[in-house]
Structure 1
Amino acid sequence: MRLSEGARIGVFGGAFDPPHNAHVALATAALAQSNLAELHVIPTGQAWHKRRTLTAAEDRLAMAKLAFSDPEGRVVVDSREVLRDGPTYTLDTLHELQREQPGAQLVLIMGADQARALPTWHGWQDILGIAIVSVAYRALSTGSTARFDPKMLPGLPAGARFEALELPAMDTSATDIRRRAALGENISSLVPPAVARYIDQHHLYRSA
């Protein structure tokens, strides 16, 4: 469906291995604070920057659909990157969305740590020419450092646009969840209930 001119489309990518409560909180905050017509949740395909092998794409996609189900229909779990051959680049995804919705404004959603690492991204300056970057900040997060300042990015292009998303403090990580699941520990407080059931039923992250 073609959105109206100027409609804002959120783009929230990640491995989602697995999607957890902090991911859901970020998506909820983006919908509430960023005036989005749609939010595309995009599990990554062949991630060029990941050293470990990701869980099978079909499992991560299925878990994302369970985690981000939205009765209002504003959240789209977008499979384009898991279906794409070769390395997955955010820039390519933004170009595709731009062609599909030429009048829309793209809003790329990420955490502060990812924002600081933007200069390592493929075509990062081109990304900043296409999308507003919405940076999520967790209140009083463990080990928090000074608030991200875009002006500290070397080579920041003129006209780059940034916004802030405010999140509650949540000390949750997919790495810790995978470790707990491998040890047989209860992860039901860390992921949405449907995701916990999926992990258990499909024996994901088991060490043996």
Structure 2
Amino acid sequence: MSQPRRIGLLGGSFDPPHLAHRALGRAARDQLALDELRWLPAGAPWQKAGQVLAAPAHRAAMLAALLAEDGADDGFNRIDARELQRDGPTYTIDTVRALQAETPGAEWFLILGQDQYARFDTWRDWPELLQRLTLAVAARNGQAPQAPAALAAVPHRCTRLDLPPLAISASVVRARLAAGLAVADLVGASVAGYIDQQRPYPGPTNQG
């Protein structure tokens, strides 16, 4: 009997995507023995209501550029743009329900950072999410994931992803761009080139 297909889900605004995102995807691939990783750029993430994001087409294109630097991966990395096409706030549970209906029998992993895990009990229908998949939480410096009290009280499947320390965030990248500073060391050459050419962010031209 064949083993179920192991599929990871990695969502975010990716505004812009950067090298820490790629490192997290690689860690998930290797440590969870995934068959496939679905990248889910968010359309209007409810956690960031009121924040102006770069246009969906730009964020999807930058994510594609970042992943292309990994070279041929036999289709392991897949960008699923359904949340960019959904009207209204984006909720993970809606996406997970749809994906599991499309691919029955797979084993699913939701890849999170510790900050997301710490407020997971604020997500829409979070108890249902716990029943549907395993949480894979990125840990830095070997620290175990710390669940909020409400989540800790509910039995759930959770595994730790060990991630090397990378002091990179999208807000730092955007701040550098606003100051006209180089960002290639944070986002990679392909994404930096896209930003320089397409100008998805206001401010001085990026210098590479």
Q: Secondary structure at the match of 1:133?
A: strand
The CA deviation string for residues 144-166 of structure 1, in whole angstroms up to 9 with x for no partner, is xx64233x431556441001100
Instruction: Judge conservation of contact 2:135–2:157 (CA < 8 Å) in 1.
Output: yes
**Equivalent residue, structure 2, for 1:101:** 103
Query: 1:204 offset after TM fit, Å?
Result: 2.6
Structure 1 residues 101, 159: closer, same or farther in 2, change over 3 A?
farther
In the TM superposition, what are the counterparts of 1:169-208 in structure 2 within 5 Å?
Answer: 169-207=165-203
Query: 1:45 offset after TM fit, Å?
Result: 0.6
Letter in 2 for 1:10: G
Please say which of residues 155-164 and 119-128 is displaced more in the overlay.
155-164
Please say which of residues 198-207 and 171-180 is displaced more in the overlay.
198-207
Instruction: Judge conservation of contact 1:24–1:68 (CA < 8 Å) in 2.
Output: yes
**Equivalent residue, structure 2, for 1:86:** 88
Specify which of 96, 114, 117 is matched with residue 116 of structure 2: 114
Letter in 2 for 1:67: L
Question: Which ranges in structure 2 are unaligned for 5 or more consecutive residues?
Answer: none
Instruction: Judge conservation of contact 2:9–2:111 (CA < 8 Å) in 1.
Output: yes
**Equivalent residue, structure 1, for 2:7:** 9
Give me the whole-angstrom Cα distance separating, in 1, the residues matched to 2:16 and 2:133.
26
Instruction: Judge conservation of contact 1:45–1:87 (CA < 8 Å) in 2.
Output: yes
**Equivalent residue, structure 2, for 1:59:** 58
Query: Where in structure 1 do 4 or more consecutive aligned residues deviate above 6 Å?
Result: none
* TM-score normalized with structure 1 length: 0.90
| 2:39 counterpart of 1:37 | no
Please say which of residues 131-140 and 28-37 is displaced more in the overlay.
131-140
Instruction: Judge conservation of contact 1:8–1:104 (CA < 8 Å) in 2.
Output: yes
Please say which of residues 68-77 and 187-196 is displaced more in the overlay.
68-77
Instruction: Judge conservation of contact 1:5–1:103 (CA < 8 Å) in 2.
Output: no
Specify which of 134, 145, 167 is matched with residue 148 of structure 1: 145
Query: 1:91 offset after TM fit, Å?
Result: 0.3
Question: Which ranges in structure 1 are unaligned for 5 or more consecutive residues?
Answer: 141-145
Instruction: Judge conservation of contact 1:184–1:206 (CA < 8 Å) in 2.
Output: no
Structure 1 residues 111, 11: closer, same or farther in 2, change over 3 A?
same
Letter in 1 for 2:94: D
Greater helix proportion: 2
Query: 1:180 offset after TM fit, Å?
Result: 0.5
Letter in 2 for 1:53: V
Aligned-pair identity (%): 41
Please say which of residues 9-18 and 116-125 is displaced more in the overlay.
116-125
Query: 1:53 offset after TM fit, Å?
Result: 1.1
Letter in 2 for 1:102: P
Structure 1 residues 46, 197: closer, same or farther in 2, change over 3 A?
same
Pairwise CA RMSD: 1.7
